[in-house]
């Protein structure tokens, strides 16, 4: 079974070129211009609208793409990464399930970038003054009801490139009573080094985020938070303590430099949803190298599936998740090769209504070497009960 063909489209605001630093080369001044597309007229608007949240000065990506001078040295690497489908870090396969936040490039946008990169990287009208976008450092959903800041700044030392840390967030009186949460967001203190983050309830956090039923948020740079559907919310008991886990990683620009961060978590409250509390159905299995395995779990009630999380603990594991209704009909949910460093919650475009007796079926195949050993598969489906 071949490893699935990854999408060659580009997610908006993703850190599309984060792995390009080793492959970048300077453009050839004598290369003939064959591209009908230019940076100023065609490529810049795509980079600005699709990639500018990260590929901007001070952003999470290792380079800005928002000036011609910044972008053109990376043209060959951009082309190679897109053609090889190594990026973006959006792991879900197009066409199998319908998901939110899959902000990919259109065919015409992808064509413009590749033709430009292959065709001499023309600048275009040099008299045209392009805007100079700055890093947006604001709450994507507007000011939260409560903003919880890390108790103190954390400094990633000069001699360290990456680290993962956990912080218990002081809540003061904000959680003196139970709360219902419709959305959670992260505002990085220093966006350039915050690579991903998770928020869990203290005492229920674990290494394997994919299987933890109390994961309130999974965050990646450039991805807009998704509120829960109307009438559904996460439940926070009174006096709950929240744990923020952040993976820090420097780009080459900060090597040898100590960098501090003090991020904030924003909580957006909802009214009490009654029986519409977001809960989690967990599935686990083991996938040995080279042999597909299938495992499933039956539903003991009627539900609406809202989102899905997956963790394999290692790369090169392809997962397919589908729902099978009692009448035998199959509903594709997601097919992906999750990367351990890019864990996220995949929200379905619309809630999936599944009656009692339906089964969630996971098929996993590990394509890594035998020496990698079996992969531990954890899949979590977030849902609300339906009566």
Peptide bond into 88 cis (omega under 30): yes
3-state secondary structure of 175: coil
Q: Are residues 256 and 286 in the same domain?
A: no
Neighbour-count burial for 288-322, b at 16+ CB within 10 Å, e otherwise: ebeeebebbbebeeebbbbbbbbbbebebbbbbbb
Q: How remote is the C-alpha of 239 from its chain's centroid?
A: 29
Does residue 97 come out as left (phi exceeding 0), alpha (psi in the -120 to 50 range) or beta? left
- Mean pLDDT score of the chain: 87
Handedness of CA 252, 221, 216, 142 (dihedral sign): positive
pLDDT digits (tens, 9 = 90+) for 134-145: 888 899 999 999
Position 141 in a domain:
no
**Which residues share a beta bridge with 93?**
none
Domain count, the chain: 3
Torsions phi, psi for 162 (to 5 deg): -150, 160
pLDDT digits (tens, 9 = 90+) for 12-46: 333 343 333 333 444 445 578 999 999 999 999 99
Instruction: Please give the share of the chain, as a percent, with pLDDT higher than 90.
Output: 66
Q: Are residues 294 and 266 in the same domain?
A: no
The predicted structure's pLDDT at residue 212 = 53
Q: Are residues 336 and 362 in the same domain?
A: yes
Mean pLDDT calculated for residue range 102-131:
91
The predicted structure's pLDDT at residue 275 = 63
pLDDT digits (tens, 9 = 90+) for 280-332: 999 999 999 988 999 999 999 999 999 999 999 888 899 999 999 999 999 99
The predicted structure's pLDDT at residue 87 = 66
Residue 6 has pLDDT above 50, yes or no: no
Q: Are residues 218 and 314 in the same domain?
A: no
Position 372 in a domain:
yes
Claim: this prediction has a pTM higher than 0.85? yes
d(CA 258, CA 159): 8
**Tokens for 359?**
């089964």
Q: Which of 64-68, 105-109, 279-283 has the lowest mean pLDDT?
A: 105-109
Domain final residue pick, 116, 136, 156: 136
**Distant-in-sequence, close-in-space partners of 30: CB < 8 Å, separation ≥ 6:** none
Q: Could you tell me the CATH number of the domain that includes residue 293?
A: 2.60.120.230
d(CA 281, CA 381): 5
Q: Which H or E element spans position 375?
A: strand 375-385
Q: Which of 29-33, 89-93, 223-227 has the lowest mean pLDDT?
A: 29-33
Sheet with 242-249: list strands edge to edge: 162-169, 242-249, 194-201, 215-219
Residue 59 has pLDDT above 50, yes or no: yes
Q: Are residues 126 and 176 in the same domain?
A: no
What's the domain range around 254?
146-270
d(CA 274, CA 176): 20
Position 228 in a domain:
yes
Q: Could you tell me the CATH number of the domain that includes residue 179?
A: 2.60.120.310
d(CA 125, CA 105): 24
Mean pLDDT calculated for residue range 349-355:
97
d(CA 244, CA 121): 43
The predicted structure's pLDDT at residue 171 = 87
Give how far Cα 230 sits from Cα of 183, 271, 276, 277, Å: 11, 10, 9, 11
**Distant-in-sequence, close-in-space partners of 81: CB < 8 Å, separation ≥ 6:** 16, 17, 19, 20, 23, 87
- pLDDT band at residue 356 using 50, 70 and 90 as cut-offs: very high
Q: Are residues 257 and 290 in the same domain?
A: no
């Amino acid at each position: 079974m071949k490893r699935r063909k990854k999408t060659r489209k580009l997610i908006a605001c993703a850190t599309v070129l984060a792995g390009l630093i080793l492959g970048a080369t300077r453009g050839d001044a004598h290369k003939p211009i064959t591209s009908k597309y230019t940076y100023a007229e065609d490529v810049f608007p795509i980079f600005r609208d699709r990639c500018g949240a990260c590929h901007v000065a001070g952003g999470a990506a290792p380079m800005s793409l928002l000036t011609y001078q910044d972008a053109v040295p990376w043209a060959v690497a951009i082309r190679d990464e897109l053609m090889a489908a190594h990026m973006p870090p959006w792991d879900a396969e197009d066409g199998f399930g319908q998901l939110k936040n899959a902000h990919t490039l259109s065919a015409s946008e992808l064509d413009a970038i590749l033709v430009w990169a292959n065709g001499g990287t023309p600048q275009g009208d040099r008299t045209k003054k392009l805007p100079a976008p700055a890093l947006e450092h604001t709450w994507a959903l507007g000011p939260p009801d409560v903003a919880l800041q890390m108790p103190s700044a954390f400094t990633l030392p000069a001699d360290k490139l990456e680290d993962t840390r956990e912080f218990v967030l002081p809540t003061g009186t904000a959680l003196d009573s139970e709360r219902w949460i419709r959305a959670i967001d992260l505002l990085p203190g220093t966006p350039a080094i915050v690579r991903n983050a998770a928020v869990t309830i203290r005492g229920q956090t674990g290494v394997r985020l994919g299987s933890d039923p109390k994961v309130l948020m999974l965050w990646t740079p450039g991805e807009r938070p998704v509120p829960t559907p109307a009438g559904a919310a996460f439940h926070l008991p009174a006096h709950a303590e929240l744990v923020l886990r952040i993976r820090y990683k420097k780009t080459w620009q900060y090597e040898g430099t100590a960098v501090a961060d003090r991020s904030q978590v924003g909580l957006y409250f909802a009214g009490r949803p009654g029986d519409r509390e977001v809960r989690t159905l967990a599935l686990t299995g083991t996938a040995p190298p080279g042999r597909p395995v299938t495992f499933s779990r039956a539903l003991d009630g009627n539900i609406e599936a809202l989102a899905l999380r997956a963790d394999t603990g290692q790369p090169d594991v392809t997962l397919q998740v589908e729902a099978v209704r009692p009448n035998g009909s199959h509903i594709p949910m997601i097919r992906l090769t999750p990367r351990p460093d890019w864990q996220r919650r995949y929200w379905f475009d619309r809630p999936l209504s599944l009656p009692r007796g339906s089964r969630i079926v996971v098929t996993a195949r590990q394509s890594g070497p035998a020496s990698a050993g079996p992969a531990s598969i954890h899949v979590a489906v977030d849902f609300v009960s339906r009566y």
